[in-house]
Amino acid sequence: MATQVKKTFQSPKGTFDILPDDQKYWEKVRKAVKHVALSYGFERIDIPMFEHADLYSTAIGQSTDIVEKEMYTFRSKGGDLLALRPEGTAGVMRSYVENGMLNLPQPVKLYYVGPMFRYEQPQAGRYRQHHQAGFEVLGDQDAVYDAQVIIAFLAVAQELGMKNLRVEINSIGCPKCRPAFRTQLVRFYKTRVAKLCKDCKRRLKDNPLRLLDCKEEKCEQLKAYAPNLIDHLCEECHNHFKLVFEYLDELEIPYALNPHLVRGLDYYTKTVFEVFVEDEHVEGGSEKTHQRSKLALGGGGRYDQLAKTLAGKDIPSVGAAIGMERLIGVMKRQNIKATPLYKPEVFLVQLGAFSKKKCLRLFEDLRVHGITVAESFGKDSIKAQLRSADRSAAKIALILGHKEAIDGMIIVREMDSGAQESISMEKLIKVLKEKLKK
RNA sequence: GUGGUCGUAGCUCAAUUGGCAGAGCACUCGGUUGUGGUCCGAGGGGUUGCGGGUUCGAGCCCCGUCGACCACCCCA
């Protein structure tokens, strides 16, 4: 062997392992998403984790941050320019068109769960590989679905027992009314350029709508006087927006109109929303102070223009995505419990080579009867095995000594009380099922 | 991409001015016949994130680098 060069491997920047101890939270979230999705009629779809890169640049927009600097693009050996998916909606729409879902009864409701990839500076709750659960309603323009997507989103959080949620909602208009508004906005800010922060000066040229999203103090002040999108919606957008409110009100969903809410993806039209949670998160590197702030759990909106951009088709749609890492982070901070996935019911203790072989068989018998068995076959001493049994939290230990193995008997020990009895092997399954109330 | 704080055992953290790298928890084994938890004892674990430099001597000082966290930016 060549000289050993020490290299300590770390998971790549912004990625992380989901360890066994944490799986229970992920399982709980996946279960809630699945249950809610199916109960609202969303069926599962799985799309590739990479697509042709131009699918995203066309769908999301050339001048968005995601496309400009956050995409993982690479060339395949065949020369195609591909990209790891930075979000789910574009791929779902591509699949809808490609698989002729236009011929299904409309709308088509789909949900997905899986990793997304963005090349960004990581922070807590922000990763280069993160996971989203998303709902999409494709092929219907009715405002009722804008509301339903929001309701489904909240239902997931509610099913998990989450508190302090708030929906912020806005309408960013459509190609009929937005350009006129944009012109007006630019006109307003052009006379006040001097008062803007340097980022907003840039935004004024590239993406004026985002001016409304700035958090700088001086820009905040200007915003108060800036023209409001919702005051300049065309009649169709206005009526649509009003209906969304009416549907949310009908179900008494608490929401707040945020006229400055703008989302960073080009494909949105009409309704946009984000769901926030009042969260306690750590601020400051060394001096850790806890500060309450609102954390975005996810968001979404209507994207009636996306299919036109992508395929020249008219497929009005609306969707939302939940950030799973953030959801789980909040669950932990709100002390929401998840039950462990692995809970052995009985622990098998073997003594001696003959017994060990018999136990291997017994393990199979118990397993096919639906009893979860744990073991530490690698250990020989009864002491070590019972210690493992104790830590496994199994209710019952089965002890098969050499003598019992020959006589066709086995010792059933209740771990809590320490009471134990020797019974014949034939009765074992029956006795265990009684004790475990199966 | 820019700036700030921080990296010591699996985890939580010590180590005086630059002077022998430690503790608790966890893990493994033992406390005499085939019985766990409590208790007692022992053991395994570290190139102090990594690479250079200064120094008789570096966990500590300097430079670089990687990573985590925070802010900007943006978002989930």
Q: What pLDDT is recorded for position A6?
A: 55
Q: Are A327 and A28 in contact (CB under 8 A)?
A: no
User: Tokens standing for A364?
Assistant: 């199979």
Beta pairing class for A373-375 and A346-350:
parallel
Beta pairing class for A165-171 and A289-302:
unpaired
Cα A276 to Cα A286: distance, rounded to the nearest angstrom: 27
- The answer to whether the beta carbon of residue A321 comes closer than 7 angstroms to any atom of strand B is yes
Closest C1' nucleotide to A89's CA: B76
Q: Are A150 and A253 in contact (CB under 8 A)?
A: yes
Q: What pLDDT is recorded for position A286?
A: 34
Q: A332 CA, B30 C1': separation in Å?
A: 40
Cα A271 to Cα A142: distance, rounded to the nearest angstrom: 11
**Cα A347 to Cα A97, A293, A321, A342, distances in angstroms:** 53, 47, 42, 13
User: Tokens standing for A111?
Assistant: 């949900």
A113 class by beta-carbon count within 10 Å (0-12 exposed, 13-18 middle, 19+ buried): buried
Q: A3 CA, B37 C1': separation in Å?
A: 48
Q: A381 CA, B20 C1': separation in Å?
A: 39
Q: How many CB atoms lie within 10 A of CB A227?
A: 15
Q: What pLDDT is recorded for position A7?
A: 65
Cα-Cα-Cα-Cα torsion A97, A102, A108, A110, nearest 10 degrees, comes to: -20
For the segment 69-128 of chain A, residues whose CB is within 7 A of strand B: 70, 87, 116, 118, 120-128
- The answer to whether the beta carbon of residue A346 comes closer than 7 angstroms to any atom of strand B is no
Q: What pLDDT is recorded for position A266?
A: 83
- The answer to whether the beta carbon of residue A283 comes closer than 7 angstroms to any atom of strand B is yes
Q: A202 CA, B3 C1': separation in Å?
A: 21
User: Tokens standing for A424?
Assistant: 């014949």
- The answer to whether the beta carbon of residue A217 comes closer than 7 angstroms to any atom of strand B is no
Q: What pLDDT is recorded for position A186?
A: 84
Question: Closest Cα to residue A398, out of A363, A364, A430?
Answer: A363
Average pLDDT, chain A: 90
A210 φ, ψ to 5°?
-70, -15
Q: What share of chain A is helix, strand, coil (3-state, %, to 5)?
A: 40, 25, 35
Q: What pLDDT is recorded for position A300?
A: 95
- Identify any residues that bridge with A138 across adjacent strands, giving them in sequence order: A108, A317
- The answer to whether the beta carbon of residue A165 comes closer than 7 angstroms to any atom of strand B is no
Nucleotides of B under 7 A from a protein CB: 1-6, 27-31, 34-37, 47, 49-51, 66-76
- The answer to whether the beta carbon of residue A358 comes closer than 7 angstroms to any atom of strand B is no
Where do runs of H (alpha helix) occur along A338-410? 353-368, 382-392, 402-407
- The answer to whether the beta carbon of residue A12 comes closer than 7 angstroms to any atom of strand B is yes
Closest C1' nucleotide to A12's CA: B67
Q: A118 CA, B76 C1': separation in Å?
A: 11
Please, which residues have CB within 8 angstroms of residue A416's CB and are 6 or more apart in sequence? A395
Chain-centroid distance of CA A113 in Å reads 7
User: Tokens standing for A72?
Assistant: 């993982």
Which pLDDT tens digit goes with each residue over A217-254? 677 777 778 888 888 899 999 999 999 999 999 999 99
Q: Which residues of chain A have pLDDT under 50?
A: 1-5, 282-290
Please, which residues have CB within 8 angstroms of residue A159's CB and are 6 or more apart in sequence? A32, A35, A36
Return the SS3 of A416: coil
Q: How many CB atoms lie within 10 A of CB A436?
A: 14
